[in-house]
Amino acid sequence: MDFKSLVSFGQKKEINKKYLAIRIGTQSVTGVVWEVLSGKVELGKLVHFPVTSTKIEDFLPVADKVVTAVILGVIPEPKEVLFGLPPDWVAEGKIIEPYLTLLRQTSKELSLTPLGFVVLPEAIANYYKELEGTPLTAITVGIEVSKLYVTYIRAGKVLKTEVVNIIDSSDLNSLIEGALKKFTEVEVLPSRILIYDGGEDLEILKNQILSYPWTQKMPFLHFPKVEPVVDADVAKAVAIAGGTEMGGTVEPVVNEVPVVAKIDEQVKNETENVVPVDEEVVDTGFTVDKDIKEEATKPKFKLNFTDLKNKIPAMPKFNINLSGKLPLIIGVFIISLLIAVVGGYFALLNLVLKNQVVVTVNSKTIENQKDITVVTAGEVSDSDLKLLANKIETEAIGSKRGVVTGKKIVGEKAKGSITIYGTTLGRTFAAGTVVTGSGLKFIMDNSVTIATGSAASSATATVSVTASGIGDSFNVSPGTLFEIGDYPQSSYQGKTDTAFTGGSSHQVLVVTKQDQDRLLATLSAELSQKGLEDLRAKVPSGQNLLENALATAVTLKKFDREIDTEADSVGLTMTVKVTGVTVEEKQLIAKMGNLSSSDIPPEYDFDISRASVSVLGSKVDKSGNVILTVNFSAKLLPKIDRSKIIKDLTGKNYQAAKDYLTKTGIVVDSKIISTPQFLDGLKTLSPNQKNIGLEIISL
């Protein structure tokens, strides 16, 4: 992960020194103390304060509170700070105004030296890589008061961030959908969403996001899993970004609760002491087509007499001129003493002195990406773009009730009777004939016949009618006149002598399709997660479940309320079938290693222990086969003849040994450790090959 500095530094950072990390957001500011101890990143006290103002100038007092609280009682008091910043504070790798001036002023007012900064999505990607052991592939959503930061992360790399202004916070899902639609180069979105910076409402926001029909709106292969990243974890991510950049590995402890994430040991790249090769070529032992192992050769003891010339310290000379037996005795004593000294020195070199030679070499990293088809039966060769996997299934059953949001007017229809007056030929009016009074329509309940009448003497008939709609507006008063069908009132006319009654109306809640869809999406996500947890428990030992390649199918779905029916809530009972595949990670690495063999230079060795894979995405083809997009990365070390190197180092002094290793052109640094420690002063390697161990580390 890139580590960007606010200022230029001309020297290396001190080890075992305490630092501050400050995570900045518009809703809160979080601070944590961190340090690198014995190559491990350790976290100390963590302090969180809310931001109650949206004004940028009000940030300084909150930062002051955070720093004051977090360094209280910390010895030595940290003076250097690493900032975690929102994406729109940075452009082209630099902090933009007015935020740069703000951070400079904050550092000055609080007497802090800016160590650097990291953008929050990058810090989160790094944090999850260290936490889970594989590069992160996910969508991160930073939720501020007035902005959304939607970021696409693939294989641990931030590929794109969209900043969205929040106008209506209730329409959060539509805003996220609009941002995701701008990721036009992404065919299938990762089914994992990490949300952060939502304050105390992260769980509410999670449920709100889960209620959206994502698989119907966007190209998700499965309904996405939504995970909140609390402020404390975001602050940890910022601190760990700084710690790992300085060569530490992750083993953080906060408030005595350990949060452990293992990563490969990082070796700092220091090449300023490398001596250029400009002398004659020497036989170094670095050869082609010979296997190597990184484990150091363990020394064993074996007494092996060698030429001690130039290795025995000069002894004082004696000139004794005595008569008789005394000179003989003295001579024998001196020779015996000389033999004892020489034998003791020889024993020290061959039996006691042990050396560990640690060499740092230039490694070569290769990366490859392939689409691998997962099959659960048949035979697969090493060169096939197929991987044999195990298929596992489970069913998740559950029920859930959801809210009802639809509204509808219901009620009763008014009823009454009218008298029809006819001044022309007699006529029969069928049931269902429409009569209109006061602008309202009524329906005849039955047929009625009226005799022939005249203007002087009208014929009459009485018939009951029912309102065409509900509501008390149809309760017309006595004396209301009615038109009969399409006939003119001069021929036929109706009149009510009594008021109509029974008309009423009121508003009720009814089930809508949106209510059912929302409940379906929420329960589907919960059951898919339950199914995933069941599958995890079923994974055989030594196998890994490909969580990006899960297939879900709804086998039973039953609502207890139909659409447009009156109800206070709606219930759903559902069964979801979840199918997954498991593979051996070693098998996948070996497969990708075989497929990448042409990319391995002949002078380098491939070791499966220095390779890793990550599943970037998955899809299902027309035949129903799961196809994984797999990224392969391997660190290659040069082939080394270990036995020749150790043989050539025997008996050399430290400087001669280092010069020999440097002239290879491959070793960029070397270190010699002698035990017992008091023999380190000899500055000499043992003449016994089995007492010399060789450890190879890489940049």
Alpha-helical (H) ranges within 71-142 are: 99-109, 120-132
Radius of gyration in angstroms for the set of CA atoms belonging to the chain, rounded to a whole number: 42
Q: Where in the chain is the domain with CATH 3.30.420.40?
A: 18-123+233-258, 134-217
Taking the C-alpha atoms of residue 238 and residue 235, their distance in angstroms, rounded to an integer, is 5
Three-state SS at 664: coil
**Alpha helices (runs of H) in 199-356, residue ranges in sequence order:** 202-210, 214-217, 231-245, 326-347
H helices then E strands: how many in the chain?
A: 12, 36
Please state, in angstroms and rounded to a whole number, the distance separating the CA atoms of residues 115 and 21: 9
Beta-carbon contacts of 541 under 8 Å, excluding residues fewer than 6 positions away, are none
pLDDT at position 8 = 32
pLDDT digit string, tens, across residues 316-365? 444 445 445 566 677 666 776 777 666 566 666 677 788 899 988 888 88
From CA 88, how far away is CA 24, in angstroms rounded? 12
What is 18-123+233-258's CATH number?
Answer: 3.30.420.40
pLDDT tens by residue, 204-225:
888 889 988 898 888 887 889 9
Residue 687 preceded by cis peptide, ω within 30: no
Full-prediction pTM beyond 0.75? no
3-class SS string, 494-506: EECCCCCECCEEE
Count of beta carbons in the 10 Å neighbourhood of residue 111: 9
pLDDT value at residue 341: 65
**Domain range 134-217, its CATH number among 3.40.640.10, 3.40.50.150, 3.40.50.300, 3.30.420.40:** 3.30.420.40
Provide the pairing of β-strand 253-254 with 249-250: unpaired
- In sequence order, the β-bridge partners of residue 638 are 604
Question: How far is the C-alpha of 240 from the C-alpha of 41, rounded, in Å?
Answer: 7
DSSP calls for 500-535:
-B--EEEEEEE--HHHHHHHHHHHHHHHHHHHHHHH
Q: State how far the Cα of 539 lies from the Cα of 536, in Å rounded to an integer.
A: 5
pLDDT at residue 519, rounded to an integer = 93
**pLDDT in the model for residue 77:** 85
Find, among 302, 292, 288, 300, the residue nearest to 359 by Cα: 292
User: What is the per-residue pLDDT across 589-648, written as a single tens digit (0 to 9) for each?
Assistant: 888 888 888 888 888 888 888 888 887 877 777 777 778 888 889 888 888 888 888 988
Whose CA is closest to 67, among 124, 6, 100, 114? 114
- Residue 646 near residue 386 (C-beta atoms within 8 A): no
Residues of the chain predicted below pLDDT 70: 1-16, 38-39, 53-54, 56, 198-200, 245-328, 331-333, 336, 340-349, 699
Q: What's the rounded Cα separation, in Å, for the pair 493 and 418?
A: 10
**Which backbone phi and psi does 642 adopt, to 5 degrees?**
-65, -40
> Strand 611-620 relative to strand 626-638: parallel, antiparallel, unpaired?
antiparallel
Query: Is domain 412-502 classified as CATH 2.30.42?
Result: no
DSSP 665: S
Tell me the sheet residues that pair with 693: 356
